[in-house]
Amino acid sequence: MKINRQLIEFKDTFKLESGKVLSGFELMVDTYGELNSDTSNAILVCHAFSGNHHAAGKHNTDVTEGWWDQMIGPGKAIDTNKHFVVCPNNLGGCAGSTGPTSINPASKEPYGGDFPVVSVSDWVNSQKLLMEHLGINKWELVIGGSLGGMQALEWSLSYPDLVNKAGVIAAAAKASTQNIGMNEVAREAIRKDENFHDGNYLAMRTKPKRGLKTARMLGHITYLSEEHMNLRFGRKVQNEDTKIDGYVDFEIENYLKYKGEKFSDSFDANSYILMTKAMDGYDPASRKNGNLYKAMEPIKAKLLIVGFETDWLFPAKRGKEIQAAAMNANILSSFVILPGNQGHDSFLFHTPEYEKIINNFIES
């Protein structure tokens, strides 16, 4: 598989939905496979909130495969032998694209807490510039899971002529009250870390690692199903020698702490806040007095909406709501529920049924 990783600079000023303006920005972008001569084989993959541009394969120094490697690659559901797959790190992220850890040209210090609020629309608009940069006329497919699914939906409704198909996986047309509540607990854990310094921790040469770790531990619970956690950990007691700290009794505690610790090493706390705020704020129906089907009327793309049985963060019924609104607006759209026992995270993992649905949709 041909992998190309590049940092692309956009020099023009970029106006955000909030009204704030970036004087320019950079996107870290992975592409897999090759663009054909009439650019009709391009697929945009949008990542979920803690994801990044590295969706598949291994490039140079990569230690692991990308986050959607089970679905993207030669002969896989998203077949890189046939398609040119583009996956950028979102604006406001912390994996190479312009975000809170980048240097603010005005202050010559990292943006930190001063990085402007970004929205799902801002991501889509920045990806539109990326599309132009890559010389792609129309996406054959825009696809993503969770917050990535929100971007796929937003693409189809804000640029109806530029999207043939949209795959909205394990997503919702807006975050639920419960989603917002969970996200706020996570954000509060970060803010209450004494090293947070109103988001300007990098200037103080420190990081709110403990807050970020707690946030991720909570988040991680919401990504898994009760059944899966029970099967994997049950009430198994953690081995004394491998306990992360003296407070740990059960394996699940150790696991969450380990995951949280690892995450807090690699992710930026301000990005966490920005990404979750973008997720909470997304609500296309609000542009049409709460009427989702009115908001979806411009869509010309064919939609595939997928939910997973054990997902309780964005339950399948939230996907069904999107399809119902699409059907109300006479938009060609399908809704499928897949088994997947890993809760919300099911969208990351290959199953034969999942591969078949995605592949059938692409080939249809």
Cα distances from 185 to residues 11, 214, 288, 311, in angstroms, run 37, 9, 30, 20
Other beta carbons within 10 Å of 37: 7
Instruction: Candidates 198, 240, 241, 363: give the one binding another protein (CB under 8 A).
Output: 363
What minimum distance in Å lies between the beta carbon of 336 and another protein? 5
Nearest to 130 by CA among 29, 5, 271: 29
Classify residue 116 by its DSSP letter: P
For another protein, the closer of residues 153 and 217 by Cβ is 153
Judged by phi (left if over 0) then psi (alpha if -120 to 50, else beta), residue 301 lies in beta
In contact, 306 and 168? CB cutoff 8 Å: yes
Other beta carbons within 10 Å of 59: 14
Residues 161-220 contacting another protein, CB under 8 A: none
For another protein, the closer of residues 245 and 363 by Cβ is 363
Interface with another protein, residue 141, by CB under 8 A = no
Instruction: Candidates 40, 176, 328, 341: give the one binding another protein (CB under 8 A).
Output: 328
What minimum distance in Å lies between the beta carbon of 353 and another protein? 6
Interface with another protein, residue 223, by CB under 8 A = no
Residue of 119, 126, 146, 264 with catalytic role = 146
In contact, 169 and 347? CB cutoff 8 Å: yes
What minimum distance in Å lies between the beta carbon of 326 and another protein? 9
Output phi, psi for 82, to 5 deg.
Answer: -105, -30
Other beta carbons within 10 Å of 88: 27
Instruction: Candidates 52, 156, 270, 333: give the one binding another protein (CB under 8 A).
Output: 333
For another protein, the closer of residues 83 and 216 by Cβ is 83
Instruction: Candidates 100, 324, 341, 347: give the one binding another protein (CB under 8 A).
Output: 324
| 238 residue type, one letter | Q
For another protein, the closer of residues 104 and 351 by Cβ is 351
The neighbouring-strand residues paired with 84 are: 42
For another protein, the closer of residues 157 and 190 by Cβ is 157
What minimum distance in Å lies between the beta carbon of 331 and another protein? 9
Question: Token pair of 149, please?
Answer: 């699914």
Instruction: Candidates 323, 342, 343, 348: give the one binding another protein (CB under 8 A).
Output: 323
Nearest to 122 by CA among 268, 8, 279, 249: 279
What minimum distance in Å lies between the beta carbon of 119 and another protein? 29
* Number of Cα atoms under 13 Å in the Cβ half of residue 54: 15
User: How many residues belong to the site for another protein (CB under 8 A)?
Assistant: 21
In contact, 316 and 307? CB cutoff 8 Å: yes
Judged by phi (left if over 0) then psi (alpha if -120 to 50, else beta), residue 176 lies in beta
Specify whether 311 is catalytic: yes
Which range in 27-35, 219-227, 342-350, 355-363 contacts another protein by CB under 8 A? Answer: 355-363
Residues 260-319 contacting another protein, CB under 8 A: 302, 304
Other beta carbons within 10 Å of 69: 17
Interface with another protein, residue 335, by CB under 8 A = yes
Interface with another protein, residue 327, by CB under 8 A = yes
Which range in 87-95, 116-124, 278-286, 320-328 contacts another protein by CB under 8 A? Answer: 320-328
Residue of 311, 333, 345, 346 with catalytic role = 311
Interface with another protein, residue 336, by CB under 8 A = yes
User: What is the distance between the alpha carbons of residues 7 and 47, in angstroms, rounded to a whole number?
Assistant: 17
* Residue positions annotated with a catalytic role: 146, 311, 344
Binding site for another protein (CB under 8 A): 302, 304, 320, 323-324, 327-328, 330, 332-337, 353, 356-357, 360-361, 363-364
